[in-house]
Structure formats: structure tokens, C-alpha cells
């Protein structure tokens, strides 16, 4: 079994703006069925750039 890669986590300013705009019950580490986090992986870094309802995909 190969070792798991060590990823760094980075978030864009837009992510944090949307994150803190969520209702307080939504800001746990578990995303409910009504929330989506949009991210991409670049090398060893996971970049989150949006969070919200399904509308973040539009």
C-alpha cells in the first residue's frame, strides 16, 4: 500500500467570504446535503474557492 500524499489546504478570499456568510449551523466541518464546497487540487495543495448551495456550480 502506497503512503497517502500530504496535502496542504488553502482557501481563497471568496471562499472565506461565503463561508462566514453561511448560517451558523452550517459552519461545521461536515457539509450537509444542501451545501457544496468547490475545490481543485494543484500539486500538493487543495484550493477551495467557493462554498454554498447547489448554485455555486452555476
Residues forming a β-bridge with 45: 8, 42
Reported pTM = 0.63
pLDDT attached to residue 13: 93
Q: How many residues does the chain have?
A: 58
Domain extent listing, the chain:
8-22+35-57
Judged on CB neighbours under 10 Å (0-12, 13-18, 19+), 51 is buried
Whether the Cβ atoms of residue 46 and residue 9 lie closer than 8 Å to each other: yes
Q: What is the pLDDT of residues 6-38, one digit of tens each?
A: 889 999 999 899 888 887 765 575 667 778 888
Amino acid at each position: 500500500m502506497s503512503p497517502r500524499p500530504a496535502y496542504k489546504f488553502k482557501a481563497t478570499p471568496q471562499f472565506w467570504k461565503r463561508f462566514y456568510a453561511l448560517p451558523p449551523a452550517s459552519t461545521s466541518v461536515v457539509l450537509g446535503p444542501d451545501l457544496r464546497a468547490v475545490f481543485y487540487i494543484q500539486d500538493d495543495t487543495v484550493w477551495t474557492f467557493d462554498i454554498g448551495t447547489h448554485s455555486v456550480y452555476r
